[in-house]
Amino acid sequence: MKLWGGRFSKEEDPRTEDFNASIALDSRMYHQDIRGSVAHAAMLAKQGILTDEERNQIISGLEQIEKDLESGVLQFSPQAEDVHMNIETFLIDRIGDVGKKLHTARSRNDQVALDLRMYLRDEIVKIKALILALQTVLLDLAEAHADTIMPGYTHLQKAQPINLGHHLMAYFEMLRRDVERLRDLRKRVNVMPLGSGALAGTGFPLDRAYVAELLDFDDVTRNSLDGVSDRDFALEFCSCAAILMMHLSRFCEELILWSSDEFSFVELDDAFTTGSSIMPQKKNPDLAELIRGKTGRVYGDLMALLTVMKSLPLAYNKDMQEDKNALFDSIDTVKACLSVMKPMLQTAAFKPERMYQGAERGFTNATDLADYLVGKGVPFRDAHAIVGQIVLACIQENITLNEMPLERYQTFSPLIEVDIFSYIDIKACMERRNLPGGTASAAVRRTIYDGRQWMRKNME
Ligand code: ARG
């Protein structure tokens, strides 16, 4: 008979059982479920609701179950529906009637909320570590390439010269925000819902603060209806994950583009690319493409969970069992992507020469030419117009700004002198932007230094 079977006079139809069961998904929370039950039993005994002897039997039973689950001796069954009832059933099978006392003053509604919060809390730590590991690679690469000049783009059109270190550090900053978002989210995840009961709390004199302390929670939830029906923390995680994936996807898009023959800015390592079953010459950036593709899945998880929650009346509704599909899929996908992104990037061979050639073409120093005129007293708008004409002439004559003779320059503006050539040298243009946040090598090195300090604090 089901744990809840008392008021039923018929057996459950197998189709109901199949459709209703969530064990295939939620079994991964068994460690948290057991840890939560141990704390609940300890608190019940402290409050005189269980005897010390009962508590000891329950706790050692639960600990044994955990060991046997880990070694594979025990297996979950869909008949017991979910992880909570599987473990309670194991306990009753093993220790008999005392096991039936564990669920006193508790509902699966507050139990699942507890397990999810604990599970997510643990996963956030792992995901943060994976992001930090990727950031370490970015810092090392940025340091090695703080002088590697490349074209910076807007609209995917060459814009101004930058260095590769600066470009990579842009991704470091995105990931820094991702870590900070996760850290902030932890505050709202780490609130203890047990004691909310099914929806209205319980008449037993529970010590909720004690359970929170045993389980390393910072606080207890303040409203029992909200305690069992809040999934904001899962939604927030899915939205953090969606933003993180968007960052990875943009980066992957660039690696894909840059490894095309047209760009040839990077060559991904053989070990992190794949071949074609028909075209012998191919080396495809499949991992980068998959990360870009999986971003769609993670966005979908966020939309799915928002939609599951949008019309639910208070308090718990079974719809909420669907939260696990979205939450766990986002967790797994983000971890998998971060895990391959790191070695893929670490082994990538950037091509400084190609990047430099790219920066020399496309008039990336045109803004500096205008700035030069501004330095001679020409209002910026007028300087912009003059340089526009110079660029047009260069395009017609198929030369770069550096190749235009001085006499020709002077037909556009008599203020242009021979120092123009060193002024619009590509490297000089890059190095001139030596303000906080700028692309000069020295400015980039300062942000790398700052990044390493931040990393040290976050690794503690
Ligand atoms: N498996 C359920 C879930 O994941 C646990 C809570 C079930 N509560 C209930 N009253 N049926 O949401």
Q: What is the pLDDT of residues 165-185, one digit of tens each?
A: 999 999 999 999 999 999 999
CA of 402 to the centre of ligand 1 (A): 71
Q: Is the CB of 112 under 6 A from ligand 1?
A: yes
Residue in 438, 339, 349 with CA at minimum distance from that of residue 144: 349
**pLDDT tens-digit readout, 378-434:** 999 999 999 999 999 999 999 999 999 999 999 999 999 999 999 999 999 999 999
Q: Which atom, in ligand 1's list, is nearest to the CA of 324? A: 4
Q: Is the CB of 65 under 6 A from ligand 1?
A: no
CA-closest residue to ligand 1 atom 12:
321
- The count of C-alpha atoms lying within 13 angstroms of the C-alpha of 405, restricted to the half-sphere facing its C-beta, is 4
State residue 233's pLDDT score: 98
SS3 389: helix
Between CA 351 and CA 266 the distance in angstroms is: 6
pLDDT, average across residues 80-99: 98
> Catalytic: which of 155, 277, 311, 422?
155
Contact status, residue 180 vs residue 133, Cβ threshold 8 Å: no
Q: Is the CB of 135 under 6 A from ligand 1?
A: no
Mark whether 155 is an active-site residue: yes
At 3, the amino acid letter reads L
State residue 1's pLDDT score: 78
Between CA 232 and CA 77 the distance in angstroms is: 30
Question: In the chain, where does the domain assigned CATH 1.10.40.30 lie?
Answer: 363-459
State residue 459's pLDDT score: 86
Hey, which of 20, 25, 82, 88 would you mutate to test ligand 1's pocket, going by the most ligand atoms within 8 Å of its Cβ?
82
Torsions phi, psi of 154, nearest 5? -130, 145
What DSSP state is assigned to residue 83?
H
SS3 211: helix
Question: In the chain, where does the domain assigned CATH 1.20.200.10 lie?
Answer: 109-145+162-201+219-356
Q: Is the CB of 33 under 6 A from ligand 1?
A: no
CA-closest residue to ligand 1 atom 4:
321
Question: In the chain, where does the domain assigned CATH 1.10.275.10 lie?
Answer: 5-104
CA of 93 to the centre of ligand 1 (A): 22
Top-level class of domain 5-104? mainly alpha
Q: Quick count: other Cβ atoms within 10 Å of Cβ 149? A: 25
- The count of C-alpha atoms lying within 13 angstroms of the C-alpha of 354, restricted to the half-sphere facing its C-beta, is 13
The distance in angstroms from the start CA to the end CA of the chain is: 50
Between CA 232 and CA 243 the distance in angstroms is: 16
Q: Is the CB of 365 under 6 A from ligand 1?
A: no
CA of 183 to the centre of ligand 1 (A): 28
Q: Is the CB of 158 under 6 A from ligand 1?
A: no
Contact status, residue 37 vs residue 87, Cβ threshold 8 Å: yes
Hey, which of 30, 76, 318 would you mutate to test ligand 1's pocket, going by the most ligand atoms within 8 Å of its Cβ?
318
Q: Is the CB of 109 under 6 A from ligand 1?
A: yes
What DSSP state is assigned to residue 274?
B
109-145+162-201+219-356 folds as: Fumarase C; Chain A, domain 2 (1.20.200)
Domain 363-459 has CATH 1.10.40.30: yes
Burial of 355 (0-12, 13-18, 19+ CB in 10 A): buried
**pLDDT tens-digit readout, 217-242:** 999 999 999 999 999 999 999 999 99
* CA 281 and chain centroid, separation: 35
- Return the percentage of the chain with pLDDT > 90, whole number: 97
